[in-house]
Chain A
């Protein structure tokens, strides 16, 4: 069974500083990998996804993530954080479950706080 570990429960960064959120996954085959963001009272918004191909993927809001198979990692990065990036970030791995659907397994999330 697949699993996702986000080792950092809470991270605080200063506005304008760079950000890296860690994600490690466990899955037997080539994974589908995702990062979602959840603002308070909101749903899960897709930031970016990896299905295949280029291991560095670009997402919305200036985020990027790099798939490193050798490290089983899919860390999320942003070069300069904005106060509006404060939210909870979830990494997820997708496993095919037949008939074209797939099941997402989420990490516990990393809460990002941004200080002015």
Chain B
């Protein structure tokens, strides 16, 4: 069964550095998402992406964050000038569209020191 793959599985970075989290969505999916889960808290929506543009973003997704689909397969989340509170598990997801469920990757654990 096709899956969403995320790399790396764990990323450690120093405060103030930039990180790029990478995702390869399922190949025939059209909608892409990033969610995050701070340890012990709920999984939270960050952003949705369709047709090469952001469809919706949450209040968490401020100017520090950006997403890109640089080629036909990758979907990336960039976090500029990381802060301690950005430490979380970041999940990428994709779907075929409305009436189709989201399929999640295994996540990237980001640790900001």
Contact = CB atoms under 8 A, between A and B. Distances in A.
Interface of A: 34, 36, 41-46, 49, 51, 90, 92, 96-109
A43 B50 CA distance: 22
A106 to B, nearest CB: 4
Contacts of A96: 98
Given A96-B98, A97-B48, A101-B50, A42 B106 contact: yes
Q: Give the interface residue-count category, chain B.
A: 20 to 34
B12 interface: no
Given A100-B50, A106-B43, A107-B42, A43 B107 contact: yes
Nearest to A43: B106
Contacts of B51: 99
A34 B43 CA distance: 13
Nearest to A105: B45
Contacts of B98: 96, 100-102
Contact of B48 (A43, A101, A107): A101
A108 B42 contact: yes
B104 A97 contact: no
Closest 6 A-B residue pairs measured CB to CB? A43-B106, A44-B104, A106-B43, A97-B56, A100-B97, A101-B48
B91 interface: yes
Given A101-B31, A107-B42, A36 B55 contact: no
Contact of B56 (A45, A103, A105, A107): A103
A44 B43 contact: yes
Nearest to B48: A101
B105 interface: yes
